[in-house]
Chain A
Amino acid sequence: MNLKTLSWFLWPLVVIGIIGIWWSVSERSTESAGQRIYLQHCSNCHMERGQGLRGLVPPLAKADYLQNLSLSELTCIIRYGQTDTIRVNGRVYERPMPGNELLTAVELSALVNFVRMEWGGATQKESHQSIIDTLEKCEID
């Protein structure tokens, strides 16, 4: 095989390689800050795609409960946790959810925006300040 035929065979491989590298890099950069915080602090229980775990952990994806939460209710639950018995898509959940009181305000608002946009049915982000302002209304047990 001479060099010219070999290079014809090789060019597609090079192109595939470049596309692969580009794809893996761009995949990483599209992961938002909110998603990173979700994966780090929430996905252990609610799972990577918000699917929850049977009757142990309520789902976030396609969950009527989440879709009906107001901005302040959601922000308060994420910050201070949840001890109420709740009903999600017809199933009762009684296990408490711990709060995330160590998150910074910036992390908290990024997370709230991520959850609302990803699963809450929101179409646009709320401003950082409007999210943080709702914290004053939280009823803490």
Chain B
Amino acid sequence: MKKVILFGFASLLFVACGNDSTQKNGPLPYLGENIITDKGDTTYYKIPAFGFVDQDSSWITNESVADKIYVTDFFFTSCLSICRKMKQQMLKVHEVYGKDEEIMLLSHTIDPNYDTVEVLKEYADDLDLMSNQWRFLTGDKDSIYAMGARYFVAANEDPNSPDGFYHTDVFTLVDKERRVRGVYHGTDSLDVKRLIVDIERLKKEYEPQNP
């Protein structure tokens, strides 16, 4: 009996220290409602076409992210709660992929009335970005909120909040076919490390297969 308890204790330690390697291999999941047709084909959930204006007054659309892996979040510049932490974490992603042409970052403001192109420009400049790979988007308020829902982000006006809005801290990972491949807590540094690991996995999916 004693031996069994000891063995159980030791094996527990191994489980606690070990990594679950099965989660680190193979393709990333396809999130959202995927439809399987009668023939057995799968139609994956896909981000719809969109169009917003960035901090340099450029028009950023689904065409701009064609053939790109991209990460989105939703924020606003006058936010006093979680936004700065999210930006600190998104900066980590930018520091890894700022020079990588395959990757884009799209931050949407949920306060487009205040966050004009000029305000977003100043905000982006103050982050000392190393490239224009990170775009800060503004546009029609309702379209932004609708896109938020598509990226699994809850964002809206909130008269009960001290700064007037609520939004979740979600970072959404989207592949080159605009399919959602992961969602992450943008205020949690461990989860953002997971995002970077997942971007690497996703990049591998697009590498030519070895014969």
Contact = CB atoms under 8 A, between A and B. Distances in A.
B10 A55 contact: no
A18 interface: no
Interface in A14-50: 44-45, 47
B123 interface: yes
A7 B126 CA distance: 60
B contact face: mostly helix, strand, loop, or mixed: helix
Interface residues of B, number: 19
B82 interface: yes
Nearest to A43: B85
Contacts of A57: 84
Given A3-B2, A10-B6, A10-B9, A44 B84 contact: yes
B49 interface: no
Contacts of A54: 91, 126-128
Given A44-B80, A44-B84, A47-B88, A55 B9 contact: no
A6 B88 contact: no
Nearest to A7: B6
Interface of B: 2-3, 6, 9-10, 13, 80-82, 84-85, 87-88, 91, 123, 125-128
Given A3-B3, A45-B84, 20 more contacts: A3-B2, A6-B3, A6-B6, A7-B6, A10-B10, A13-B9, A13-B13, A45-B80, A47-B84, A53-B84, A53-B87, A53-B88, A53-B91, A53-B127, A54-B91, A54-B128, A55-B126, A55-B127, A55-B128, A57-B84
